[in-house]
Amino acid sequence: MSDFFDLPHTVTSDEIDAQGHVHNLRYLQWTLWAAGAHSRAAGWDSEQALKQHMGWVVRKHDITYRAAAMEGDAIIVRTWVADIAKFASRRKYLICRPADATVLAKVETRWVYVDLAKHKVVAIPGDLKEQLSVCDPAPHPPWSENNATE
């Protein structure tokens, strides 16, 4: 797994709320898309895991909104794994608009590994931990001259 992953997205009209900007739940959806794409890029086979009744489940989301996204904005959702523990992994995200170097939101999600048949949190298997790459320190925003980590 690469240290961080960028998911590009262009805001569509159906993502706009009654206040004329992106609805807050869309930011959460974008983070889930980015996490899934990053995991797939690293070789995570969610279909195979589901056949074994195993998978990642969100335990907690923390979102700090900093600026509004508007229809047509080209954004990047940058994500990385911040740490891995016995039962959980913490993933962070920057939702950015590179055109004006704006961080739209900072997000953190705590994921737990679950036996879906028993509905029970279980220890993350060693081979899966090896597949995850912790990005420490955190990466620069996507418009930075140096996209390496700080």
Instruction: Provide mean pLDDT across the span 52-58.
Output: 96
- Rounded to whole angstroms, the Cα distance separating 35 from 14 reads 22
pLDDT exceeds cutoff 50 at 149? no
For each of the domains in the chain, give its residue range(s) and CATH number, in order of start: 4-131 (3.10.129.10)
Q: Which two tokens stand for residue 41?
A: 């890029």
Instruction: For residue range 121-147, list pLDDT tens digits in order.
Output: 999 999 888 888 899 899 999 998 655
What pTM value is reported for the model? Answer: 0.91
- Beta-bridged to residue 106, according to DSSP, are 64, 94
Token pair of 20, please?
A: 């004329």
Q: Which residues contact 51 (CB under 8 A, 6 or more apart)?
A: none
pLDDT more than 90, % of the chain = 81
What does the CA dihedral 31, 32, 33, 37 come to, rounded to 10 degrees? Answer: 100
pLDDT (0 to 100) of residue 71: 98
∠ Cα 123 127 51 (to 5°): 75
Q: Model confidence at 37, in pLDDT bands (50, 70, 90)?
A: very high
Please determine, for residue 94, whether its predicted confidence score (pLDDT) is greater than 90.
yes
